[in-house]
Amino acid sequence: MKRTFLPAFFLVFTFVSASCVAQTRDSLDLKIAQMLLIGFRGMSLPETDPFLKDVKAGRLGSVIFFDYDVPTKEFKRNIESPQQVRALAAQLRKAASETGSGLPLFISIDQEGGRVNRLKPKYGFPPSVSQQYLGKINNLDSTRFYAAKTAQILADLGFNLNFAPSVDVNINPENPVIGKVERSFSAEPSVVTSHAVVVVEEHRKKGIITTLKHFPGHGSSKADSHKGLVDVSKTWQANEINPYADLIKQGKVDMIMTAHIFNNRLDADVPATLSKRVITGILRDSLKYQGVVISDDMQMGAIADHYGLDSAIEKCINAGVDILCFGNNLQYDPEIISKASGIIKRLVKEGKISETRIDESYRRVAALKRKIQ
């Protein structure tokens, strides 16, 4: 048998080339990009659009669609019709495939149903029902029907991440951001868990990642964390954690979103999103959750009005959050990608965030994304 020996220079070149590719694909910039979820404007994006260029360059790992643009108070954002949404998602997916990262783009939406419903009938989508409606009738077959329907629609449109279900326990029915807008399945944690299981299962069948929210529980609040800091120290109940604990044990968790609530019984210094005691201490160490954690929108009043961007990002990442969400809708900042990534990179260089911490988040996000490739 004749053996073929490759010239030494070829072997060296191949080794160096492979090393360069690996270094490029796993660079600090790439890892930071995978930690950013950003909202944008546009029903379609011209090739010259800065946001599309950022996607192509691999400067972010996730995007989110909205139908309503808060700053302009117009229903002109990213959703106009099924055909338009499908085309926009495909455009973003194709752009992300050019980065060479080997990881798909998370294309996300808040599609709980009921009041939190971006895919409205006026755009050509079927009606949806709220989680409260499903919890009240408490028929898991009904929940399965609607969850399967939602998951199929999302898959057909090109979404791969849904910020649902809400597993907040309905402690306060007058809660302006949960109970009053019908976002909770029930005041009984076990009912919340049983319906959430069904939602997760049906989404998984269609390759859609789900997100449990809002940890460690927003159901008792008396105010809206979109508008300012919300203190649940006197109203929060320990059983609000039960759905998370049960779903983690059952292996029914893809991702968990934090709440911007302050609870001095859990952390006397900072809200949950920024709290290492809550995210690492309770969620990871006590509940043994090792998956992806995403923040609620970092531009919400509870964070933006009380912490500078540098401080909020530093605390959030060091708390154990893997993806920072900037919906870019409560306020619109066309420079938010470069600002956030620049801050993270500088904090790493200054030693305020360790590279090990960045690596942890990158590995978690990459592992989750590989499940949907």
Q: What pLDDT digit, counting tens, does each position of 81-122 carry?
A: 999 999 999 999 999 999 888 999 999 999 999 999 999 999
For the chain, the domains span 38-370
- pTM (predicted TM-score): 0.92
Rounded CA-CA distance 253/3 in Å is 52
> Which one is catalytic: 54, 246, 296, 322?
296
Nearest by Cα to 171 from 244, 260, 243, 240 = 240
What lies within 8 Å, CB to CB, of 48 at 6+ separation is: none
The percentage of residues in the chain with a pLDDT greater than 70, rounded to a whole number, is: 92
pLDDT tens digits for range 139-180: 999 999 999 999 999 999 999 999 999 999 999 999 999 999
Q: Is 305 a known active-site residue?
A: no
Q: What is the mean pLDDT of the chain?
A: 92
Tell me which residue has tokens 């073929």.
Answer: 4
In this prediction, residue 83 carries a pLDDT of 98
Q: For 217-268, give the secondary structure using H, E and C.
A: CCCCCCCCCCCCCEECCCCCCHHHHHHHHHHHHCCCCCEEEECCEECCCCCC
Reported confidence tier of residue 16, pLDDT bands at 50, 70, 90: very low
* Greatest Cα-to-Cα distance within the chain, rounded to the nearest angstrom: 81
Architecture of the domain defined by 38-370: Alpha-Beta Barrel (3.20)
Cα gap 365→361, rounded to integer Å? 6
pLDDT digits (tens, 9 = 90+) for 293-347: 999 999 998 899 899 999 999 999 999 999 999 999 999 999 999 999 999 999 9
